[in-house]
A = this chain, B = another copy of it.
């Protein structure tokens, strides 16, 4: 039904852009994980909230996460964790026109076709705002992964329109990513990106680009074969993000012109561990992690909302109508997509870890964790 994600670590999401609240219920989280809303969840929500810089939407939302259940005296109880984010900045009346006239490349028309009804305020259920609860859930998953396996997830803006950052995947840190407002750890490229976004914003237009994500310290042997491959689940999780139109793993689309003898990642033993000399395939083989860093790119189309008149039709009368958008928008969603991507990656990995190792405890005896090689 589209409101839940994951099998063994499952997130169920509720809310609309201008409803009373948004939130999520996390099911399957192991007990005894220390969890504090302000320390563990709020920082990621702050990274995705609107109004955080001059290049994001001016909408003001503090997005304060409140834990409603599942935590007792600072520790998870193993039962449903509900996190609620109250909506403060409701302006339902900004959206009168689009109730009848769908915005191009938004979900207005398709929701109407699916359901025969939709909440037009801010896109209702199709708003990117519905991602806030996922970021909250992802923060819980991140903490679990860090404590259970030492896993680290870093996403960053790699390309905006035709400006590409030069970034070393092996060494990039979240600290470096957060050093500028566009979240590109190549400072020089970041500056050009920011200028471009500002110019585009002024012209009422919008931009797309690429976010890259790298995941380190995933032990070999995480993932399911066949239908629930780790990369297949990551792909689903990423394409679910608003405006994401493509994903590739390892060399991805750039690797198709290589031959097998150039592409294949050969094996070696280093530090008593089986590793590969290259990592063209991005850390996953046959849907299961091989212990090398996992990395992938996500392509974003330019933001659908632009502040220019656009041709549309009235859904009731079928007459053409010019849509003149108002209000606040992100000229480029990528800086705010970074925490979204990290969150979704964390949810997928937490799910796969728990499928394999269960949810009896956060930390697992080494004897049980060791791949049986």
Contact = CB atoms under 8 A, between A and B. Distances in A.
B371 A113 contact: yes
A306 B368 contact: no
A291 interface: yes
Given A79-B225, A240-B226, A285-B109, A267 B13 contact: no
Given A206-B259, A239-B231, A125 B77 contact: yes
Interface stretch (A25-33, A166-174, A187-195): A25-33
Given A235-B247, A255-B245, A259-B207, A227 B20 contact: no
Interface string A54-73: 00000000000011111010
Q: Please tell me how many copies of the chain the complex holds.
A: 4
Contacts of A303: 260
A43 interface: no
A220 interface: yes
A253 B159 CA distance: 11
Contact of A106 (B269, B285, B302): B285
Q: Which size bracket describes the interface of A in this complex? A: 35 or more
A227 B328 CA distance: 25
Contacts of A364: 368
| Those 10 A-B pairs whose CB atoms lie nearest each other, nearest first | A107-B286, A116-B372, A246-B248, A2-B224, A113-B221, A358-B358, A206-B260, A110-B288, A14-B82, A236-B236
A306 B347 CA distance: 36
Interface centre among A110, A229, A262, A302 (most CB of B within 10 A): A110
Nearest to A82: B14
A2 B226 contact: yes
Contacts of A25: 3, 12-14, 25
A318 B274 contact: yes
A91 interface: no
Given A12-B12, A32-B116, 18 more contacts: A2-B227, A2-B287, A3-B25, A4-B4, A13-B226, A25-B25, A72-B117, A77-B125, A104-B267, A110-B286, A111-B288, A229-B239, A235-B236, A255-B301, A259-B306, A264-B306, A281-B301, A315-B373
Contacts of A3: 10, 25, 27, 79-80, 226-227
B274 A68 contact: no
Given A77-B124, A252-B246, A368 B365 contact: yes
B232 A240 contact: yes
A300 B286 CA distance: 13
A93 to B, nearest CB: 13
Interface string A87-115: 00000000000000010111101111111
**Residue of A114, A232, A245, A265 with most partner-chain B CB within 10 A:** A114
Interface in A35-53: none
Given A107-B225, A306-B261, A356-B360, A14 B286 contact: no
